[in-house]
Structure 1
Amino acid sequence: MARTQKHQRVLQLHNQMFISPQEFSFRWGIEYEELAEICCVSKSTTYHWLGGQASRREAGEPYQRIMAVADFLLSHAEQIHPLLERWHTN
């Protein structure tokens, strides 16, 4: 597969990555404050994502994609951490 085809395939897969705030929060044991930092939104927004039925709001697809990428990074932290360290120092 050519390099551009691989890049296109990765982007296609990325566009199909979604995880709900509830699943992400449960999987990683985080509260709404940390989720707000990860998604770059207010604590109030994540409170409503994780809140009870009366105040619950759905997270938009872009935020579900951010959580999916964060989930992937956390799931593969041992392999990815050295790469991120190198990227950060360049």
Structure 2
Amino acid sequence: MKKIRKGDSVIVRTGRDAGKQGIVTAVLENKLVVEGVNIYKKSVKPNPSAGITGGMIDKVMPIHISNVALVDGNGKASRVGIKVDAGKKVRFLKTTGATLSA
């Protein structure tokens, strides 16, 4: 069971974007794509047949899963635990003890 999933609200703990919050939009092997975090400029060639104009675009790049933590109800970083509740594995926040949706 993955501790951080698509749609979770996370906060960046280290790096140049430390302190920024965002929603996970994609989960890769051991990296996450978080909206509004780790944005880089990328040069794009024009493609008239696809209707793409060339130039510089902002692209959201993946960030390693160890550099983020889930946000609890108080807006602080929290670690995630897994426990068995009524025969099912559920995720819970270690700071507040609140269970997370499946």
TM-score, normalised to structure 2, is: 0.25
Q: Give 1 or 2: higher helix fraction.
A: 1
Is the radius of gyration larger for structure 1 or structure 2? 2
Q: Give 1 or 2: higher strand fraction.
A: 2
TM-score, normalised to structure 1, is: 0.27
